[in-house]
C-alpha cells in the first residue's frame, strides 16, 4: 500500500488510512479540520466547496479551481491543494482577493464566500483580462443565495491580471517539491481499493486484477455516487495519470482527443476548430467541472442528454477502443447502443476520440435548451453539420439529445432535406419529419410536444444563421 501525498496550503501532507472514496471535501473538513470549505449542494453546482489545485508544469504551478465535493481523495495525489485558510500570509496579511472582497462589500451571509474567493484566486492567476463576459464565466460555478453578485464581480475586476502575490514567487519551489513526491499507484483502506496506473500496460493489468472496478475519468458524474449517495465503491481505477490517454493531437484533417483529456485542456482546440462546440462546453459545466471532467467520460456515460454526444455524432466523430486484445474503431453513433449503454467490451477503454475537421463547404453549430443557461441539464440539444452545393443541401447531419433513450440522428429529416434548397420554404415540414424519428418523453423539463417543437425551432435557427450570417443571441433576450 502507498499513501496519498500532496501539499496542503504549502505544507507536505500524506494520508494512508482514510477510505479512498472519501471526498476531498469531507477529508478537509473532518481530517484536516479546515472548515472554511463548505458543502452546499454536494453535486458540483453551487461552488461552496471550491478549492484550488496546483499542478507542476514546466517548473512552475498551474492553478485550477475544482469542486472538492466531487473528488475522491486519491485524485489530489501529487498536487498542491489550496484552501481559503491558506491564502493569507503568515503575518495575517490578507491575499489581494480577500482584501478585494472586503473593500467592495462583497460578502453577506458569508457561506458562499470561501468558494468565491478560491474561484477568484484561480482567475487571478490565469492572466485573463477584466472583461465582463470572462469574469462572469469564471464565476459561473459559484452561487450566492444573498444575490450579492454585483459587488463580487467588482472584486473580481480588481484582482484581474494581478497584482502579483506571494504564490508567484513560491511556485517554482513548490513545483520542485511536488516533482519529488512519489506517486500513489495502489491505495487500500479496509475492503476498498483505488489504483492510479501510469501507463496503458499498468491500466490493463489493474483491470485484469479488478475486473469489476469502476473506471474514473474526472468524476464529475461518477463522483455523485460518493458525494450524494455515499456509496463505498469496492474498487476504483483512476485514469487521470495514464500517460497515453493525456494527449491532444491536432492533425491536418482531425482532432484526436485522449481518453483522459479534460474539458479545459481540449477547449482551446475546440474554440479554434468548432467555436460552437467550445461555447457549449462552457455551458456543460463551470470551470471547476471542466478542470476535472472529460469528453470520454461524458461519452462513456451514454446519457440521452449528454451534451457532447450530439456534437460528436453530427461531426461524424469516431472512437478508438483499446484492450489487451487489440484495437477497433467505431463511429460515435454506433458506440452508443441504448439508454446509458455502449459498445465497450470487457477489458476495453476509450483511448481516443477522433473529430474530423470541417471542410470549407461545411458549417457546424450546436444549440442547447435548458431551464437555466449555465450548468443545467439539457431539455433538448441539437447539433448540425451542413454541406451545400450552391444553394442546395448536399448533406445534413442532424443529431439530437433529449429526444429519445439515446442521442441519435434524425434520419428521416436528413433524407428529406438532401437536394432541397436551403431556405425557409420547406421548413414547415420539419416537425412532421422529426415526429417520424422521435417519440420524446414528457417530464418536468419539458413535455413531448414542446420537445418536438423546440427541436424543429433549433433547425430553423440554424438555417437562419447559416444563410444570414447573423447569430441569434437567445441568451441575451
Residue 326 CB neighbour total at 10 angstroms: 8
Q: What torsion, rounded to 10 degrees, do the Cα atoms 145, 278, 128, 45 define?
A: 20
Closest among 190, 189, 239 to 213, alpha carbons compared: 239
Interatomic CA distance for residues 197 and 403, integer angstroms:
38
Can you read off the three cell numbers belonging to residue 345? 467490451
Overall pTM > 0.85? yes
Tens digits of pLDDT across the chain (477 residues): 589 999 999 999 999 999 999 999 999 999 999 999 999 999 999 999 999 999 999 888 999 999 999 999 999 999 999 999 999 999 999 999 999 999 999 998 999 999 999 999 999 998 888 899 999 999 999 999 897 799 999 999 999 877 789 999 999 999 999 999 999 999 999 999 999 999 999 999 999 999 999 999 988 888 888 988 898 999 999 999 999 999 999 999 999 999 999 999 999 999 999 999 999 999 988 999 999 999 999 999 999 989 999 999 999 999 999 999 999 999 999 999 999 999 999 999 999 999 999 999 999 999 999 988 887 889 999 999 999 998 899 999 999 999 999 999 999 999 999 999 999 887 788 999 999 999 998 888 889 999 999 999 999 999 999 998 777 776 554
Type and span of the H or E element at 275: helix 275-284
**92, 257, 317, 318, 319 from 352: Cα distances, Å:** 48, 5, 10, 8, 6
Asked if 66 contacts 51 with a C-beta cutoff of 8 angstroms, the reply is: yes
Angle formed at CA 452 by CA 449 and CA 457, multiple of 5 degrees: 125
| Distance separating alpha carbons of residues 86 and 95, to the nearest angstrom | 9
Q: Half-sphere exposure of residue 223, counting CA atoms within 13 Å on the CB side?
A: 30
Which three cell numbers, joined as nine digits, stand for 325? 486484445
Q: What are the structural domains, with CATH classification, of the chain? A: 1-181 (3.10.20.30), 246-476 (3.30.390.50)
Q: Comparing C-alpha atoms, which of 342, 376, 361, 346 is closest to residue 475?
A: 376
Amino acid at each position: 500500500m502507498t499513501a496519498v501525498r500532496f501539499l496542503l496550503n504549502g505544507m507536505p501532507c500524506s494520508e494512508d488510512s482514510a477510505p479512498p472514496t472519501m471526498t476531498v471535501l469531507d477529508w478537509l473538513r473532518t481530517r484536516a479540520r479546515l472548515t472554511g470549505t463548505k458543502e452546499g449542494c454536494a453535486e458540483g453546482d453551487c461552488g461552496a466547496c471550491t478549492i484550488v489545485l496546483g499542478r507542476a508544469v514546466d517548473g512552475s504551478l498551474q492553478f485550477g479551481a475544482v469542486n472538492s465535493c466531487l473528488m475522491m481523495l486519491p485524485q489530489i495525489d501529487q498536487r498542491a491543494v489550496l484552501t481559503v485558510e491558506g491564502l493569507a500570509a503568515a503575518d495575517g496579511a490578507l491575499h489581494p482577493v480577500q482584501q478585494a472582497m472586503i473593500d467592495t462589500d462583497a460578502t453577506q451571509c458569508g457561506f458562499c464566500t470561501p468558494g468565491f474567493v478560491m474561484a477568484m484566486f484561480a482567475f487571478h492567476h490565469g492572466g485573463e483580462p477584466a472583461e465582463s463576459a470572462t469574469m462572469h464565466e469564471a464565476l459561473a460555478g459559484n452561487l450566492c443565495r444573498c444575490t450579492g453578485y454585483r459587488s463580487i464581480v467588482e472584486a473580481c475586476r480588481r484582482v484581474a491580471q494581478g497584482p502579483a502575490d506571494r504564490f508567484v514567487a513560491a511556485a517554482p519551489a513548490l513545483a520542485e517539491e511536488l516533482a519529488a513526491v512519489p506517486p500513489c499507484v495502489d491505495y487500500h483502506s479496509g475492503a476498498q481499493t483505488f489504483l492510479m496506473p501510469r501507463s496503458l500496460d499498468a491500466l490493463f493489468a489493474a483491470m485484469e486484477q479488478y475486473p469489476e472496478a469502476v473506471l474514473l475519468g474526472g468524476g464529475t458524474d461518477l463522483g455523485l455516487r460518493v458525494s450524494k449517495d455515499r456509496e463505498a465503491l469496492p474498487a476504483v481505477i483512476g485514469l487521470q495519470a495514464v500517460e497515453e490517454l493525456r494527449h491532444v493531437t491536432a492533425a491536418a484533417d482531425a482532432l484526436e482527443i485522449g481518453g483522459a483529456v479534460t474539458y479545459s485542456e481540449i477547449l482551446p482546440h475546440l474554440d479554434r476548430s468548432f467555436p460552437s462546440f467550445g461555447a457549449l462546453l462552457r455551458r456543460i459545466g463551470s470551470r471547476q467541472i471542466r478542470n476535472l471532467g472529460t469528453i470520454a467520460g461524458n461519452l462513456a456515460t451514454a446519457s440521452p442528454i449528454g451534451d457532447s454526444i450530439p456534437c460528436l455524432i453530427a461531426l461524424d466523430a469516431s472512437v478508438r477502443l483499446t484492450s489487451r486484445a487489440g484495437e477497433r474503431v467505431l463511429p460515435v453513433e454506433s458506440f452508443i447502443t441504448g439508454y446509458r449503454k455502449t459498445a465497450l467490451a470487457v477489458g476495453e477503454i476509450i483511448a481516443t476520440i477522433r473529430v474530423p475537421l470541417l471542410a470549407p463547404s461545411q458549417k457546424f453549430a450546436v444549440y442547447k435548451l435548458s431551464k437555466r443557461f449555465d450548468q443545467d441539464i439539457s431539455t433538448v440539444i441539437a447539433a448540425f453539420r451542413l454541406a451545400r452545393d450552391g444553394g442546395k443541401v448536399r448533406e445534413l447531419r442532424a443529431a439530437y439529445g433529449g429526444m429519445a433513450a439515446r442521442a441519435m440522428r434524425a434520419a428521416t429529416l436528413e433524407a428529406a432535406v438532401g437536394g432541397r434548397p436551403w431556405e425557409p420554404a420547406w421548413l414547415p415540414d420539419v416537425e412532421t419529419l422529426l415526429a417520424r424519428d422521435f417519440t420524446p418523453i414528457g417530464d418536468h423539463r419539458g413535455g413531448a410536444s414542446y420537445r418536438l417543437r423546440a427541436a424543429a425551432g433549433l433547425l430553423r435557427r440554424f438555417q437562419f444563421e447559416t444563410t444570414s450570417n447573423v447569430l441569434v443571441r437567445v441568451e441575451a433576450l
